[in-house]
Structure 1
């Protein structure tokens, strides 16, 4: 007697996210062993509304020795603080996502690198993900010494894709709300920052990638529209985009922007870089002509890694050097 095989049931959102977390854990394993000079651990930050946001910390082992020997937590001048936000269309991604750049930055710049999470749509629509990112940044600014970091040596926020949006948003908020200590730099990679309603008039003719790259196989126009529908943002809120701030771009810290030439979001990054330069912000921008929606993360392919890796490290090197040149 034969039994018809039942069609597999679609995964629930929780199942999909669990599968993604396991996949991202496997991608972290594929990076190889952690360098013997670094330590890596997980912790949580309690946000103002009681939510516990997961953090992954990568830092030099020397930080722990300094903390245990110095009750005053005096690590001044040694360890910059770099805060990273992951991608995933505001509805996916885990704390593992940014492990590749986190390890590289910790090793190269003797930095304390914190990869941060935020609550995801559709259960948590706008502005919750952005508010989580801001609240986490504020908490880390206040508790940097607890991690062995010294923001005076560098306080950089960064992110990729949705995380690049987060980085751009909180960089603007940090200036508008006078975060203390202030950010010294920002790394914004392949962000979603613009929709038709908020593209500044002077840049409308330059916002073309949403049409030119609308059928990109990695991230296309329809996917972006679905992301917007799922997040359900108020696009005129400064929690959605720095372009919606009352005083956008002016007075921001040095910023490094990355964009893919074949990315449907290419011009979001390029217009941001142009607006920053026009506002007098020290800005570097790398356009990877032959890449789509790709960045220096655990998802980087062998093809993209050789293009993204050196440029990303050079960009962060520039940001850290800018931080140190501003130090008293």
Structure 2
């Protein structure tokens, strides 16, 4: 039986989930299947972006009158205006709201703030949060480190303006994201710590994050870094897709902004982390390794939800799967766990 505490068992997480296997045998396809070529990026964006916006509008309509949304443009270091969606409670809590800032996924090539609308709205409904979903410039038009630089500029703006936004960071200041957004969030958690950003981050949500590229794995971890090969042909994020993302994003391989696992100043005094990790995902082992290092080597408090036998972003791509609803509920509960830790003063 697989256990996150026993790395020798992690390969068992990659065994395909029987229900997913049956869906595939019956001809089921990922809802967001795509052409894994750089030249196909514009067409994929054109097809996907209206869907994300449609889902976001429907979720907001369902949440009314308790939640309202507004759009702001945040000026970045070079004058670019980053588009952000802000979700707030219609009746703000008397003591202010915790702050949640999310960075969307999409392999640094796709996506928009609407992708995290549902997570933002649920955070407002359940925790009275002020929640922001952040846009950043995409590759290949804007290669590395444009995405992380835009995101860092926006995060600093949020920190400076949190009170004006209706937030009370003393109740919690969470950042997070999915996949590429998890990569960005991991880098930002270190930048916030190293620069002494005030108010400071109190919690980090990393969902199926990219944290350690295959060509930068420290030697002592190579025997445990097996998911890139085991899941190279998995649905949704096969090796060919990961290769395309890296070719488009053109990261600096030695940069800690690309490989936050290898952050030069280490991981001491990082905030509490909540992880969501898929078993049949090329990124599985970098998430499991990072969680293990944070917890065992740096004393960071962590929580993990793992989805054995299921691929990258399975919940959006196979919505009929019985575990797809688990993801959204787990995410919302994970935010609550991070906020509880913040409020208890156990940081």
Instruction: Please give the range of the TM-score, normalised by the shorter of the 2 chains.
Output: 0.7 to 0.9
Give the superposed CA RMSD: 2.2
1:258-297 equivalences under 5 Å are 258-278=276-296, 279-294=298-313
Gaps of 5+ in 1: 1-9, 67-74
1:19 matched residue in structure 2: 47
**Matched residue SS, 1:226:** helix
1:2-151 equivalences under 5 Å are 14=42, 16-31=44-59, 33-63=62-92, 77-151=95-169
1:319 matched residue in structure 2: 338
Distance 1:327 1:274, change over 3 A: closer
Partners of 2:124 and 2:184 lie apart in 1 by 21
Contact 1:27 1:299 in 2 (8 A): no
* Cα-to-partner distance string for 1:105-159 (whole Å, 9 max, x where unaligned): 1111110000001000001000111111111111100011121001111000010
1:20 CA drift (Å): 2.2
| Count of aligned residue pairs for this structure pair | 307
Answer with 26-35 or 246-255: which moved more: 26-35
1:70 matched residue in structure 2: none
The answer to which structure, 1 or 2, has the higher relative contact order (CA under 8 A, 6+ apart) is 2
* Cα-to-partner distance string for 1:260-304 (whole Å, 9 max, x where unaligned): 0011111111111111102100011111103210277x6672424
2:204 matched residue in structure 1: 186
* Cα-to-partner distance string for 1:39-59 (whole Å, 9 max, x where unaligned): 112111111210000001111
Contact 2:213 2:259 in 1 (8 A): no
Moved over 4 A (4+): 10-16
Partners of 2:126 and 2:57 lie apart in 1 by 20
Contact 2:41 2:109 in 1 (8 A): no
* Cα-to-partner distance string for 1:70-116 (whole Å, 9 max, x where unaligned): xxxxx6x4300000000111011011100111111111111000000
Q: Give the TM-score, by structure 2 length.
A: 0.83
Gaps of 5+ in 2: 1-37
Contact 2:172 2:202 in 1 (8 A): yes
Partners of 1:197 and 1:226 lie apart in 2 by 15
Contact 1:85 1:159 in 2 (8 A): yes
Answer with 270-279 or 310-319: which moved more: 310-319
Contact 2:88 2:130 in 1 (8 A): yes
Partners of 2:309 and 2:122 lie apart in 1 by 24
